[in-house]
Chain A
Amino acid sequence: MFSYPTVRTTFLFVAIAIIALAFSDIAITSINPWRDLGRFFLGVVTPDFFSTEGLATAILRTVAFAFTGVALGSMCGFLLALMYRWRIVRLFSAFIRAIHELFWALIFLQFFGFHPLTGVLAIAIPYSGIFAKVYSEILDEADPEPRTLLPTGTSAISMFLYARVPDVWDRIRTYTSYRLECGMRSSAILGFVGLPTIGFYLESSFSQGQYSEAGALLILFYVLIATIPWWVKPKLLPIYVVGAPFFLGEGLPIVWGNVARFFTEDIVPSPIRNNEGLGEFGAWLGDLMLTEAIPGIWNTVVLTQIALVFTGLLALLAFPLISTHFGGPVRRTSGHIFLVIARSTPEYILAYILLQLWGPSMLPAVVALALHNGGIIGHLIGRQSNNIKLRADAARGLNRYSYELVPRVYSSFLAFLFYRWEIIMRETAILGILGVATLGFYIDSAIQNIQFDRAMVLILITAMLNIGIDGLSRFIRRRLALQTMPTC
């Protein structure tokens, strides 16, 4: 068995996770975790759709921010994709997508404040980086044949529009509309830092223990995501995109002087700003690294590695729930519902809920990351397993699972898992805002102390860490010859 590189890699990562577990902080610190969990589920089954006056507005804003942000992101991403052969563009794209939407929002909040632009850019910028990469991959795969058939002297633009784009247009459209669903989730969580989307109200009702109100918000959010195929039609798309900017809310006016101040003063390290010399700057940076960056990186990596393995475990356990090779329609339907809920709830919201219920430790974060990411991968490989044709006399039950199906889906399972490695790390950093001591915790603390210079250095470190993991993940996928489509 160990002769297979995929198996060896698996055991290596499991071993790393076990070591990481030894260093991790896993505990349920609340005295009555199950009572609160019970109250929460009671809230979900007795939703109160009329308690918050802003419920309908929150849904509208969530959709509006998602559409505007994703539309802007896809346009900029498309332009970047055209220049993707330049190293500098690739680096730039990798950099902007390595910073999470919430961090972008926290940055823009400092100078645009509560203006709709904060939310739009927080989505559009990282999405541009992602779109750039995926679009360029799609464009590269366009069939070169049509181009050779065009008469000589055809302009580059015509050649691009008539010979290259039509071939991949469907894939671009499919990916973009898939990304819209991701945008909806991003938009929702922006509320947690103060933008007027669902997250804003979800945070309020949770922190006040109004679980019926929180339940109503969650249900509306699931319905919104689950019904996307019905209300997002290609024909209606231009209308949505044109209309969305009008429903972002008015916010507060931008004061442009703040923008200049942010870049020329706020984020300049304080020893340099106060002309204290390079020696002081070194001491400042050293202190920041020692007391915040290194502990933050350590915790981020530990948590990521544990969450990665639990994600894999959960995905492997969950995919039979929707596989046609097991169980009847009832089991599959409930499996589908479970996986839809798991994958449409952003990690941030799951972690927030679990932290409220179990108290602070790495446990809520691990469970949240595993549920969300495991739900996504479980859904994808479950669907894939349905395409596998088994012999009529194939083994049943556990043997069918372990000898027939798992080996056949294992490569693509690993491909998805490694693809999500970087995403899990990006989310792990963000969960720090909720109180787990990952990089996000120190970034949030610096922002709370109005020390944007420190926050900026930590955000840059987070981005570098993500870029590093992304590179490592691509290396491993190449070595194991794993191929996958992008997920979010």
Chain B
Amino acid sequence: MFSRLIRHTALSLLLALISIVPAYAETFVFTAIPDEDETKLVERFRGIADYLSKQLDVEVRYIPVKSYAAAISAFRNNQVQLAWFGGLSGVQARALVEDSEALAQGVEDQEFFNYFIAHKSTGLERSDTLPEEVRGKTFTFGSKGSTSGRLIPEYHIRKIFGEAPEEVFTRVGFSGNHTRTLRLVEAGTYEVGALNYKVWEKELEDGNIDTDSVKIIWKTPAYPNYQWSIRGDVNERFGDGFKERVKQALLALDDPKLLESFPRSGFVPASNDDYEPIEEVAKQLGIID
């Protein structure tokens, strides 16, 4: 009885080891930061995977991740070769991978901005700056690693109030993503929140916002945001000129349905230097060394 069990378990261990040896070689894998509802992301990026697969003539696969850090790690570890990053996550990821570069950004990402939103119970109205009355309210960021959900809002809060967010607000939370920030402020779980304007506008257009409960109180100045970043070593793996082909494929993307899902009106070339302002701010806040 006992020895049989040992035999079986030893055999199964052996089989386990064999079965985890990867059997797939050259699939081009990409990921994206989980900044919105997952269902939407999966739908959007599966479309992109199909599109790229046709354009590039290789198998292309999208993998969903649960955190910004997971997206950066996957890119750094060469488990994904391409990623749709936010401004900050892109800077962080490219700093970790030699020769990686920002390939393309959305037309809107050149001049991106944020909305600060508030629940109706606060009585706050839209103004030209973040009003002093937000002091003492509860506040939620998006994800800890987000540009528009964390970095830029924190930068402006510190600039306007001269204090850390924890001192300005009675309670500071991290909702996880932009859709979640919207839902939490709409429900009054938090009184004030900050989110990416694109998510707000798309949800508004789709009729998913109860505008009686939540309204915009401030629009931030513009900054560069989302971009496609690619690893420096893709040409060695997928053939000469592969990086350029990916870039051209992204720039040529004109399927209105796919663009609408981002939502972006199109993609334009980007470079690492475009994101210097983001790097500056992240350094100031001590998010990157």
Contacts and interface: CB of A to CB of B under 8 A. Distances in A.
Interface in A175-232: 192-194, 200, 203-204, 207-209
B241 interface: no
Interface string B67-84: 111101110111110000
Interface in B7-49: 8-9, 11-13, 15-16, 19-20, 22-24, 29, 37-39
Contacts of A31: 119, 121, 187-189
* Residue from A109, A209, A450 with most neighbouring chain B CB atoms (10 Å): A450
Nearest to A35: B187
B289 interface: yes
Contacts of A253: 22, 24, 79
A75 B2 CA distance: 13
Contact of A114 (B74, B96, B171): B74
Interface stretch (B172-180, B221-229, B244-252): B172-180
B63 interface: yes
Nearest to A116: B20
Contacts of B79: 113-114, 252-253, 255
Contact of B8 (A29, A200, A241, A255): A241
Contact of B15 (A36, A72, A111, A242): A242
A254 interface: yes
* Residue from B38, B72, B80, B177 with most neighbouring chain A CB atoms (10 Å): B38
Contacts of B119: 31
A117 B19 CA distance: 11
B136 to A, nearest CB: 14
B183 interface: yes
Chain A interface bracket (under 10, 10 to 19, 20 to 34, 35 or more): 35 or more
Interface residues of B, number: 59
Interface stretch (A85-93, A243-251, A332-340, A371-379): A243-251
B173 A449 contact: no
Contact of A208 (B2, B37, B63, B96): B37
A435 B174 contact: yes
Nearest to A33: B189
A68 interface: yes
Contacts of B1: 169
A447 B70 CA distance: 9
A254 B22 contact: yes
A359 B12 contact: no
B20 A207 contact: no
B174 to A, nearest CB: 6
Contacts, number: 138
Contact of A242 (B8, B74, B174, B179): B8
A116 B289 CA distance: 32
A194 B66 contact: yes
B238 to A, nearest CB: 15
A281 to B, nearest CB: 14
A238 interface: yes
Nearest to A359: B189
Given A161-B3, A242-B15, 15 more contacts: A29-B138, A71-B9, A113-B73, A194-B67, A244-B16, A245-B16, A252-B22, A270-B289, A359-B173, A359-B190, A435-B173, A445-B144, A448-B67, A449-B69, A450-B92
User: Which 9 residue pairs of A and B lie closest in terms of their CB atoms, listed nearest first?
Assistant: A31-B188, A245-B16, A253-B22, A30-B189, A238-B8, A242-B12, A194-B66, A448-B144, A252-B79
Interface of B: 1-3, 5, 8-9, 11-13, 15-16, 19-20, 22-24, 29, 37-39, 63, 65-70, 72-74, 76-80, 92, 96, 119, 121, 138, 143-145, 171, 173-174, 176-177, 179-180, 183-184, 187-190, 287-289
25 contacts: A29-B171, A31-B121, A31-B187, A71-B9, A72-B16, A109-B73, A114-B63, A161-B2, A161-B3, A166-B2, A169-B1, A169-B2, A194-B66, A207-B177, A207-B180, A241-B8, A246-B19, A250-B24, A252-B22, A253-B24, A255-B77, A258-B78, A359-B190, A448-B145, A449-B144
